[in-house]
Structure 1
Amino acid sequence: MLDIRWIRDNPDKLDEALRKRGAAPESATLIELDEKRRAHIARLQEAQTRRNAASKEIGKAMAAKDTERAEALKTEVAEIKSFIQSGEETERELTTQLNDALSRIPNVPLDDVPVGADENDNVEVRVTGERPAFDFEPKEHFELGEALGQMDFETAAKLSGSRFTVVQGGLARLERALGQFMLDVHTREHGYTEVNPPLLVRDDAMYGTGQLPKFSEDLFQTREGFWLIPTAEVSLTNLVREEILDAATLPRRYTALTPCFRSEAGSAGRDTRGYLRQHQFYKVELVSITDAETSIEEHERMTKCAETILERLGLHFRTVVLCTGDMGFGARKTYDIEVWLPGQNMYREISSCSVCGDFQARRMNARYRAEGEKETRFVHTLNGSGVAVGRALIAVMENYQNADGSIRVPDALKPYMGGIEVIGA
C-alpha cells in the first residue's frame, strides 16, 4: 500500500505511474477522501478541546454558585460527548474508506522499468545455455507423460475436475527430487532458511501481501474462512508482520517447498491441456526481508539464485524484465525467467522475482530500527520462485526426452533418484 502523505505530495507522480501501468488516474479521488477524513478529525479535535474547556467552566460556575450557567454547560458537554462518540465511529468509517481505496492502488514502478502494455513489451536481459538439438520431433510433456503411463489427466478429472493431474511412478519421484534439490541449493549455498509454513492463512495475511481485497477471485477459501495459499510468499513474508526488527538481523532470507492453490480465474481457456497451469502445484519460494538501502541489490541476487537452479539442471532459458503493463500488482520491478520447452517450441515462465519496496510492509506494519536511530522504517520485501517445481518437471521432461519417449535424469538430480537414470514406461 502506498503512503497517502507521499500521494498528497506527489499526485502527478502517482497518476503517471498508473498511466504507465495502463490504469486511470487516482490521486484526486484519494486526496479527496483524505481531505474529508482530515476535516472530520479536525472537527473532533475542536469538539474535544471545547469539552475539556466546558468541563473546567462547570467547576468554576459551581464554585460561583451559578447553577443556571453550570446546568447549561453540562448540557453542552453531554451534547459534545454524544457528537464525539458518533464522530469516532464516522472517523473509523472514513479511515476504512481511504484504506480500502489505497489497498486497490498498485505499486509504483521503478524508473528503469520499461513502459509497455503487455508481455509483448517485456525486454530480454540475458540468455543462458543452448537450445537442445534433437534428431526427432520432440513431444510435449503431456504426450510423454501419458505414453509413459505416469501422467493421468482423466483420472484426476474424475477425482477433482479440470486442471488437476495424477503424477505417479518415476515422474512423481522426479518431481519430488526437483523440490528437494532446489531446497538444498538455496539453504546450503544461498543462505536461505528453510521454513515449513501454514498452508491455510487468515484474511490479514492475504491482505499483507496484496492478494486481498483485489484478487479474491483467484483464491480458494474454506468454509471456516481460511484461505489456501496461492504461493508460500504469503506465509513467509508475513513472518515479520507487526514486528519491529533490529536492522542488524537484516536481510532475512526464507525458502519453502509447499503446495500452492490457485483458481486460475483470470486464465480461463489458457493452457487447458497438460500440467502447465494447475489448481494445485508445488513451488519452491524465495522471500527476502531487507532494509531500504539494499533491496535493489537483493533483487539481483535473488534472481541469480533462481537462475542457478536452471543452470544446474542444464536447461536453456532467458531472463526478461517485465514492462509496466505486465508487472504484478505489488511489484516495483520484476524479472521473469523463461525456460525453453522444445515440445512447445517456445519459452515459458518458470520463475518470477520481484522487489516490492515497502508496499507490503505498510500493509503488514513490518518495520526495522537502524542502530542509533529512534525512528523506525518500513522493511522492504522481495519474493521469487526458486523455482516452480511442476514447470521444472515439464522442462526436464521435454529437454531430456529420448526418441523412444523415455526421460533421462539430469546429473544434478541423480543423487535424489535412488539409482534411476532413465524413466521409461
Structure 2
Amino acid sequence: MAKAKTKKRSKNGGKTPQRFTYDELMANARALLPVLRERAARTEEMRRLPDETMADLYEAGLLRVFTPARYGGLELDWHALPDAARIIATACPSTAWIVAVVGGHSGIVGRFPKELQDEVFADGPNQLFVTASAQTTGKIHKVKGGYKLNGVWRFGSGSDHGDWYMVNGDVIDEKGNKTDRMVRTIAPASDVEVVDTWFVAGMKGTGSKDLKYNDVFVPEHRVVTSPENFGGGPPGAPVNPNGYLYDIPFGPYFSSWLLGPVLGAAEGAYDAYVQATRGRVGAMSLNSPAHMHTVQERLAESYCEIEAARALYQKHNDFLHQRGVERRLIEVDEFIDSGRERTYIGRLCFNAVHRLVKQMGAVGIFDTNPVQRFYRDLNVMQNQLALNWDIHMLNFGRRQFGLPTGMERLDNPPPARLPWGASRKGKTAAAGKNAGTRAAAE
C-alpha cells in the first residue's frame, strides 16, 4: 500500500540561502539538540522525521553541506558532514542518518553533468535526494532517448521527504539482453511511488521505505554510468572545480559518512546512561547502582571503547580529507585499511553501548528508555554493508598474508580514473607498491 507523501515545504521561502562555515554549522547542530531530544520518541513512533525537524535541518544548513556553492550550497570539505551528523546523533540517530547519508547525496549530484544539476537545483539548493540501494524487482531498460524503469528498489531513507529519487542497476538493452553497464538514474518525486514497508527494529525514524517505479521514463541527461559517477574526474568536476568531493573517487567517502551517526549514537547513549544511573535506586536492592564497583568498572570500559572509536574516527576522516585535498587516488591497501577501521569503529561503539544496556537490568528493556533506543539504532546500523565485520576484516587479514581477497574489484581492478583536478594541475597519482590498481576505490 502506498504511503501518502507528506506536505512539501516551500522552496527556500523566497530567501537567499544563508552560508555557514564549518564552525557555524557545528554550532547550528548543537543548537538543535534540545528539541531533537524532545522529538526522538515521536520520530521513532512516526517512522519518519517530523516536518518541523526537516524545516529545522534546512534552516540550519545541515542538508546543504555537500550541495555545490554555485547553486546555493555550503560546499564544505569532508569533515563537515560526519561531524555535524555525529553531534545530531547524540540526540537522535535517525535524524543524524538523514543529515549524513541522505544529505550527503547532493555531493553525488554535484558529480553529474551540468544540465542535470541546473535542472534539479532550479528551485533552489534545498533539495533532498533519496536513494534506494537494494534492487529487488527493479529493472532498467534502454529505450529511445533514455531509460524506462519498472519495479521496486528498497531502503529509500528519507523517502517521505524526497524531492528527487536516485536508483541504480544494470541496463537491459533494447533487445532485452542484460548488460554489465550499471547506471545511476534520477527522477522527480512525482514519478515515483513510496511504499510503506518500514516496520523495523531500529533506526525507525529514517523512513527507509520502498520506491516503486511504474514505467517511469528517465531522459539521457539524468543518467550516468556508476563508474563515471563514482570514479575520478566525473562530469561534474569541471562544473564545481573548487570542491574535491566532486572530483576524487567517491567510494570510500560514500561508505564512511555513516560513521558520524554511529559514533554520535554511542556518545549519546553513554551520556544518557550516566544521567539515568546517577540518581537511580534499584527496585529490589534499594541501593544506587552508581555506588556499585562493577557498574563503575564497566562504565569505564565503555568509556575507553568510545574514546578509542573517537581516535580512529578522527584518523579515518583526516586521511580521507587529505587525499581529497591532494586529489590523490586511494591505494587498494589503503582502501582495505579504510574498511577495517570503519568496521572496528562500529564494533567499538556497539560493544560499549551493549555493555551499558546490560547493566541497566529490567529498566533497560523498555522502548521509552533513551539508552535502549540508542542501542536498537546502533544494532541496526551494524547491519550496513559498510560495517560488515566478516567482509572487511577478512579482506585485511588475507591481504596481510599475501592472499587474494576473492573480490574481483580488489584483486584485479580496472585502470584507475584520475581526478580531473589532478590532471588539470599537472599532477599524477602518487606511485606506490599498488600503482595501477587504485580503481578499487571507485
TM-score by length of 1: 0.24
Greater RCO (CA < 8 Å, at least 6 residues apart): 1
Structure with the higher fraction of residues in strand conformation = 1
Structure with the higher fraction of residues in helix conformation = 2
TM-score by length of 2: 0.23
Larger radius of gyration: 1
